[in-house]
Amino acid sequence: MIDSSATPMGRALEDEYCDIAVGLGGDIAGRTRGDDYLRHTHALKDGEAVPWAMNPKIVDERGLSILASAAETMGAILDKMCRRFLDDPAFRSRFDLPATLERYALIPTGYERLIPIARFDVFLDEDTGDFRFCEVTTDGTGGMVNAMEVAHVIQQTDTYREFSRRHPSVHTMDVAAACGRAVLDTYASWEGSDERHRKPDLPSLAIVDYADSVSADEVAGFVDCMRDEGVFVRFADVRDLRMVDVAGERILMDVEGPIDCVWRRIVPSEAAERPCPGLDALMEAVEEGVVCMVGGFRTWPVATKTAFALLWDDDAAEWLDADELAFVHAHVPHTVRLEEGMDLSAFSDREHWIAKPADGFAGAGVVAGLDVDAEAWDEALGRLAQHHGVVQEYVPQYRTPTIYGGPVPGWADPTNYPMTSSIEGLCLFDGRFAGAFCRCGSANVITTDTDWLDMGFLVVDE
């Protein structure tokens, strides 16, 4: 269990960082240089620098230990859930997955790690060290390239230079590079091929998604990162995949040639809605052991909102031990699966609840009761009940001062910065905590469709 009795000093460090910026008149020059730098990276939104905060999230050793334990404990719990999904048909049926996705999820991956790549979004109380989980993302976790580029920008400011003079141990954690290594480590452990299929030490690797759904800039960032490791990697649109016979050997191909390893970035719910021959070819290749697919579809059930509801079900005690169950009740918001025809009056106190589609991602379709009137709230609950969505306890978000990055029009007074809520994405690769990326915003739901900023993440070893 997590011991947060020793309060982390992250908030004190962040306040010190903001005070340095104020003393430098808001570090306007550093913020302006930051925007110029980002325009020449892959951290872009609509061709411009991503919105970013000049002040980062900062944790000390105690805070880092709390976040690492949170991620690794939750990872172990979801490993158990994933295993139960694979082994227990009755439990599997409770996720109510489309038949195609359920079949995909049961295809063996050829490697032992159940969930190679995951991100756990949490709301962290920086005064106490307490945290509550928001949601889980597996395999196609976005935002890591932005996180590292924003951290690099911050390190070029005069504010950071003064802060690092006072705290020489300050450093970043490169989550994008760690994710790339996890992909390659998973491939190295893969035993899906047989004597008919060679397994090169460095694979021909394809990052696979629908081209019109993926962030081209983020993919390009990962391509650059992994090519630095000597890996031939490119993006492949799933619709371009096909199986071919070459000299008696079955090979998965795209328009550029053979593929040994696939990093699946396809969101499974989208795959169910957009079937195509290329997706059929990919799953055929996985079933035949022709390719290693990092991020088998078996990781999808634990990333659905249904997973949180099942963690709160009475029978969770059948497969979680006492410590795990206590962790869930302390850190996972109370979540209820909605059913058509059920009595929804228990959720009428709407400011205490948030409603989510079961298979949603990136905040799509999420409705916070604080944001709507009673009529709209009832309509949202009724709509989601028809599709087995969930209603979840709304977690009040911790708020901190925020200094906008870049030259913000009308922002002349460096002491007049707003308070925003933040969300920390805890990255777990190969079962090990690898760092975090953070976003903040002024809305009750922080998504790419609302007012949000990317933030850097710094660690001070003291």
What span, in angstroms and rounded, lies between the C-alpha atoms of 326 and 1? 9
- pLDDT band at 349, cuts 50/70/90? very high
> pLDDT tens, 297-325?
999 999 999 999 999 999 999 999 999 99
- pLDDT band at 448, cuts 50/70/90? low
Cβ–Cβ < 8 Å for 217, 43? yes
Q: Which residue has the higher pLDDT, 224 or 209?
A: 209
Q: Is residue 293 predicted with pLDDT exceeding 80?
A: yes
DSSP string computed for 68-116: HHHHHHHHHHHHHHHHHHHH-HHHHHTT---HHHHHHHTS--SSS-S-S
Average pLDDT over residues 100-112: 94
What span, in angstroms and rounded, lies between the C-alpha atoms of 209 and 274? 11
What is the enclosing helix (H) or strand (E) of 226? helix 216-227
> pLDDT tens, 134-182?
989 997 667 888 888 999 999 999 999 999 999 999 999 999 889 989 9
What is the enclosing helix (H) or strand (E) of 246? strand 242-246
For position 415, what pLDDT does the model report?
Answer: 55
Closest among 263, 319, 243, 251 to 87, alpha carbons compared: 319
175: exposed, middle or buried (Cβ count in 10 Å: 0-12, 13-18, 19+): buried
> pLDDT tens, 1-21?
445 445 678 899 999 999 999
The CA-CA-CA angle for residues 268, 271, 277, to 5°, reads: 140
Average pLDDT over residues 195-201: 67
327: exposed, middle or buried (Cβ count in 10 Å: 0-12, 13-18, 19+): buried
Average pLDDT over residues 354-375: 82
Q: Which pTM value belongs to this model?
A: 0.92
What the chain holds in terms of domains, given with CATH numbers, is 179-298 (3.40.50.1760)
Phi, psi of 11 (to 5 degrees): -65, -40
